[in-house]
Structure 1
Amino acid sequence: MLTLNAINQYYGGSHILNNINLSIDAGALVCLLGRNGVGKTTLMRSIMGMVALKSGDINFAGQDLSKASTEQRARAGIGFVPQGREIFPLLTVEENLKLALAGRRDKVRKIPAQIYDLFPVLQEMRYRRGGDLSGGQQQQLAIGRALVLDPKILLLDEPTEGIQPNIVVEIGEVLRRLNQELGLAVLLVEQKLPFARQVADHFVIMERGEIQATGAMGTLDDALIGQYLTV
C-alpha cells in the first residue's frame, strides 16, 4: 500500500534519513521505534510532504506521491496525527472536525457518526473550544480529525506522549478496532514499548537515520531492545 524507496533527507549538513526503504501493507499495524533524534518524526513528515524529499520515491495505493502536496496526499487517503496534536485551540471540537471535511475525496460535508462512536467524549464536548480540553481529549480530537478524511492509512507520531494512562488505553483500543474491524492500515511512532507491544503487529527500528531491524512484534527481543531502544 505505502512504499518508500531510497528516501534521503538532510537538515543543513546533517544526513537525517539515509536511504530508507520501507513497505506498509494494506491492513498492517506497524510501530516505528527508536531513540530520540534518529529521524522518526522526519520520516513521518516526509511521507506527508511537509518536508520535500532530497531523493527517493513515495508510492501509495498505486500513485507516485513523491512530489505531491500535503493536501494531495491527504486526499489520496493518508491521515496524519502529528506530534503535539496541533489542533486549533480557539475553535470548538466540532469546528476542528468540520475543517477536515474539506479534504475528503467524496465531498461529504458532515462529520461521520463513527467519529463520535469511537470517541464519545468528543460528542459530549463538541461545542467546547479545543484549547479547553485535557491533553488526552485533545489527542482524541486530533485522531478524530484525521479519521474524518476517511483515510486508507493512518500515521500517528507519538500518540501517547503526555497522555493520562486511561486515555492511552482507549487510544490503543481504538487503533486495534480500526485495524481489525475496518482494515485500516496504521503506522505509528511510539516510545512506550508496552503500548507498542499491545497495539502493533509489526515493528520497524531506526537508528541514525537508517532502518536497522524489522519483524513481527513477537520477535522483538531483549537483544534488539538493548542495542537500539534502551537509553
Structure 2
Amino acid sequence: MLQIESLKQFYGESHTLWDLSMTIPAGECTCVMGRNGVGKTTLMECIMGLLPLHTGALRFQGHDLARLPAERRAGLGIGYVPQGRQIFPLLTVEENLRIGLPARADRRRQLPEVIFELFPVLDEMRARRGGDLSGGQQQQLAIARALVIDPTLLILDEPTEGIQPNIVHEIGDIIRRLMDQLGLTVILVEQKLPFARRVGDRFAILDRGRLKAEGAMTELGDDLVREYLTV
C-alpha cells in the first residue's frame, strides 16, 4: 500500500526524521506511536506532501509521491485528518464537507450518503457553522471531510485528543467499520494506549525521529511501553 524508504527530513538545522523506512500494509490500521516531539506529525505531513523530503522515497500503490503536491496525493486516494482538526469555523458543516469534492478522482459533486450514515449528527447539523460544534462533533466533521474524497488510505493524527470518552469510543468503532466494511487502510497517530490496542492491527514506535520497533499489536509488550511510551 505505502512504502517509506530511507526518509530524512529537517526543520532548519534540526534533523527530525532519520533514515526512516517502513511499510504500511493494505487493509490494516497501523498505529504510529511515541512520546511528544519524536516526529510522528512530521512523518504524516511528509506523507501528505505538506512538508518536503530531504532525501528518501515514498511510494503509494505504485505512484512515486516524492514530488507530488498535497492536492495530487489527495486525488490518488490519500485522506488526511490533521492534529487539531483544522475545520473552517465560519463555514457550515455542509460547506466544510464540500471542500473535499474537487479532489475526488471521479469528479462527483454529490456528498456520499455513507458520510451521513457514519455520522448522523452531521446530517442534522448541515447548516450549522463548524465553529459552533462541540469538540467531538468537530472531530467527526474532520474525519467526514477526509472521507468525502473516497480515500483508500486514511491518515488520522491524534483523533482522540481532547475528545469526550463516548465520542472516543464511537470514533474507534467508525475506524474499524471503515476497514472491515469499506476496505480502507488507516495510519493512526495515537498516544492513548488502550485506544491504540483496541483499534490497531500493527504498531510502529518512533523515538527522536527514528523507527525503534514495529510489529503486530499483540507484540506490543510492557518493555516497549515502558521504554518508549510512558511519560
TM-score range, shorter chain: over 0.9
Taking the aligned partners of 2:107 and 2:68, their CA distance within structure 1 comes to: 20
Taking the aligned partners of 2:17 and 2:155, their CA distance within structure 1 comes to: 18
1:163 aligns with 2:172: no
Counterpart residue identity of residue 156, structure 2: L
Taking the aligned partners of 1:55 and 1:188, their CA distance within structure 2 comes to: 24
Q: Deviations over 1:88-137 (max 9, x none)?
A: 00000001001110110000000000000000000011110000000000
Q: Give 1:19's aligned residue.
A: 19
Moved over 2 A (4+): none
Q: Deviations over 1:150-188 (max 9, x none)?
A: 001000100000001110011000000001111100001
Q: Which runs of 5+ in 2 are unaligned?
A: none
Taking the aligned partners of 2:72 and 2:91, their CA distance within structure 1 comes to: 24
Q: Give 1:119's aligned residue.
A: 119
Counterpart residue identity of residue 71, structure 1: E
Taking the aligned partners of 2:11 and 2:146, their CA distance within structure 1 comes to: 27
Q: Deviations over 1:33-90 (max 9, x none)?
A: 0000000000000000101100111100110011000000000110000000000000
Q: Give 1:1-231 correspondences, 5 Å limit.
A: 1-231=1-231
Counterpart residue identity of residue 168, structure 1: V
Task: Give the TM-score, by structure 2 length.
Answer: 0.99
Q: How many residues in Structure 1 have an aligned counterpart in Structure 2?
A: 231
Q: Deviations over 1:4-42 (max 9, x none)?
A: 111000112111000010111110111000000000000
Task: Quote the RMSD (CA, aligned, Å).
Answer: 0.5
Taking the aligned partners of 1:20 and 1:73, their CA distance within structure 2 comes to: 20
Counterpart residue identity of residue 118, structure 1: L
Counterpart residue identity of residue 12, structure 2: G
Counterpart residue identity of residue 84, structure 1: G
Q: Which runs of 5+ in 1 are unaligned?
A: none
Percent identical across equivalent pairs? Answer: 61
